[in-house]
Structure 1
């Protein structure tokens, strides 16, 4: 966002109150300056999902803008917070910024309601006018999704297994055979830590976030078997 282009004259627009969550202090400050420059009010700017939850629950804004990956694990804390807030306050506009194309996270967010939902890749948010136009659209109840996310979402809807790497498909295939993590490690000649990382990535890419590990393992295998039947 540093160096984002802004026009000489900011057009008239409805002023909205923004709650911002971004762990990078430099990017957070840049976003605050940009949003304020366009006539909106940043009522809170925090660096963690927990702080976002606390601030929004204390004083609900007109829109939440949040990064997906935040402390402490930098996995999906921001997304989890956004989904929790949307469930507590149905219709709360949410604009998510992500460094990566993460189709399952978009799918899960859209499942809480498509209206007032935005999902943009950070690399594409380089034009201040375009970014704030997306913020305005989402705050007004519209839906804004990065074009690359749309392409990946369509592919995911057809076949979620397409999101998995060749090694992840291999691990999932062995899971479908009923092999334990230790057996998978021995078969693929990799460490058990690596096996666990592959399985965690499989769960994330298939959108299996909230259930226990055993239940997610079953759901992942069922997804694999459905894909095999389709072939």
Structure 2
């Protein structure tokens, strides 16, 4: 796996690079700003990029804007966006156009190398990764005109884990139920959301997006 890391904090950037190196991941470029990130991607064609949302010069959403540009111009490159804050609207903005091969994690999560490598691998496999804290925040919000109103509580629970990017096997382990039961819940959810005529991987992404969009931001 070949990765580019972009963060204006040298300590954070070097920390991520060190963790990746220890895990056997090749870091082919580093940048402290979004312009440098885009240049690194153009020159190195990495498998994935890791980028902080808040980058110079304004430290607002330059990293997110760069991530969206990478998604558009380099669809073969996965994008993992990091944030120090729980900002569900940014997660939705990132995956709205092309939900495959993108992820959003809270920054402190990536210093757990197992979480970081798992996220990168799932993104490389075409999945969507959303930080469970963001999913939990959305779950706890009061919904109006809820498009998921027809789902049972268990189906909502399973869908929340799908939105995190968990596999059926991982969901079964989390909920202490069989994988076959998980498959049944997901099938019913797809039917209720009108996602019957799609490939399974695409339906999972669309179902996760429907879940995230079902909360007011």
Q: How far apart are residue 63 of structure 1 and its match?
A: 0.4
Q: Counterpart in 2 of 1:83?
A: 68
Taking the TM superposition and a 5 Å limit, the aligned residue runs for 1:117-136 are 117-136=102-121
Q: Counterpart in 1 of 2:53?
A: 68
Mapped partners of 1:62, 1:125: distance in 2: 18
Q: Counterpart in 1 of 2:29?
A: 44
Q: Counterpart in 1 of 2:94?
A: 109
Q: How far apart are residue 59 of structure 1 and its match?
A: 2.4
TM-aligned CA distance change 1:31 to 1:68, over 3 Å: same
CA contact (8 A) 1:34 1:128 kept: yes
Taking the TM superposition and a 5 Å limit, the aligned residue runs for 1:60-209 are 60-153=45-138, 158=143
Whose radius of gyration is greater, 1 or 2? 1
Q: How far apart are residue 149 of structure 1 and its match?
A: 1.2
Q: How far apart are residue 155 of structure 1 and its match?
A: 6.6
CA contact (8 A) 1:91 1:113 kept: no
Mapped partners of 1:102, 1:139: distance in 2: 23
Q: How far apart are residue 125 of structure 1 and its match?
A: 2.9
TM-aligned CA distance change 1:106 to 1:156, over 3 Å: farther
- Return 51-60 or 16-25, whichever deviates more: 51-60
CA contact (8 A) 1:70 1:77 kept: yes
Q: How far apart are residue 117 of structure 1 and its match?
A: 1.3
Q: Counterpart in 2 of 1:29?
A: 14
Q: How far apart are residue 105 of structure 1 and its match?
A: 1.3
Picking from 38, 41, 58, the partner of 1:56 is 41
CA RMSD in angstroms, aligned pairs only? 1.9
Mapped partners of 2:125, 2:142: distance in 1: 27
CA contact (8 A) 2:16 2:110 kept: no
Q: How far apart are residue 18 of structure 1 and its match?
A: 0.2
Aligned length: 144
TM-score (norm: length of structure 1): 0.58
CA contact (8 A) 1:97 1:122 kept: yes
Q: Given the alignment of the two structures, is residue 17 of structure 1 paired with residue 6 of structure 2, yes or no?
A: no
